[in-house]
Amino acid sequence: MKKIIFLLKERNPRLSNKKRADMYRKKLGRMGGDCEVFMKVSFGSEPYLIELGDNVRITYGVKFITHDGGIFVLRNLGLAKNKAVYGKIKIGNNTFIGNDAIILPGVTIGDNCIIGAGSVVTRSIPSNSVAAGVPAKVLRSIQEYLENNEPLMHETLKMTAIEKKDYLLKNGDNKFIKK
């Protein structure tokens, strides 16, 4: 019954991302201060093997996998009876993990990192890096990311939703991302 109540709370869209992070605090190996956890994040079957630094944002649908499920085949062949393989996951300070990313066992993501949406992180990522892809690869440094995005930045975070909408519809076209 406790697990059902926990899952219902975790999926509550009215629960703030900071409060949702606090719900997971006791389950994880470590969680620093000022973390955010969005809805539908999975910390897997061994959440105590996951460590988050300070100011970490885990966005919608991220999955942490702390074991190698493929050992199932070896167990069924009688080659690894009653055995499993595990790895800790460590996320550094001031790190953002984009929607639906998957972090595999044994991975360390350094401080000041951005992991792109949909990435599969199979290897550790050094501090001050932007990484994305399947498998995730370092694409650029945080400094390069700033330089590339500075011309596109809008100062909208202190605006109301209506002010932001009006501003973007009037002023945004020349500063929107174009692919």
In order, the DSSP letters of 47-114 are GGGEEE-SSEEE-TT-EE--B-TTHHHHHHTTSSTT---B--EEE-SSEEE-TT-EE-TT-EE-SS-E
Picking from 81-85, 123-127, 175-179, which range would have the lowest pLDDT averaged per residue?
A: 175-179
Q: So what's the pLDDT on residue 82?
A: 93
Whether the CB-CB separation of 12 and 19 falls below 8 Å is answered with no
Burial class (CB in 10 A: 0-12, 13-18, 19+), 89: buried
Residue 26 has pLDDT above 70, yes or no: yes
Q: So what's the pLDDT on residue 177?
A: 84
Percent of the chain with pLDDT over 70: 92
Per-residue model confidence as pLDDT tens digits over 157-168: 999 999 999 999
Structure tokens at 176: 């929107």
Residue that has been written with the tokens 């951005």 in this structure: 114
d(CA 105, CA 118): 17
Sorted by where each begins, the domain ranges of the chain are 2-152
| 27: region left, alpha or beta (phi > 0 left; psi from -120 to 50 alpha) | alpha
Return the bridge partners of 137, or none.
Answer: 132
d(CA 179, CA 166): 23
d(CA 110, CA 11): 28
CATH topology of domain 2-152: UDP N-Acetylglucosamine Acyltransferase; domain 1 (2.160.10)
Per-residue model confidence as pLDDT tens digits over 74-83: 999 999 999 9
DSSP state of 174: G
Whether the upstream peptide bond of residue 135 has omega within 30° of 0, thus cis, is yes
Return the bridge partners of 64, or none.
Answer: 103
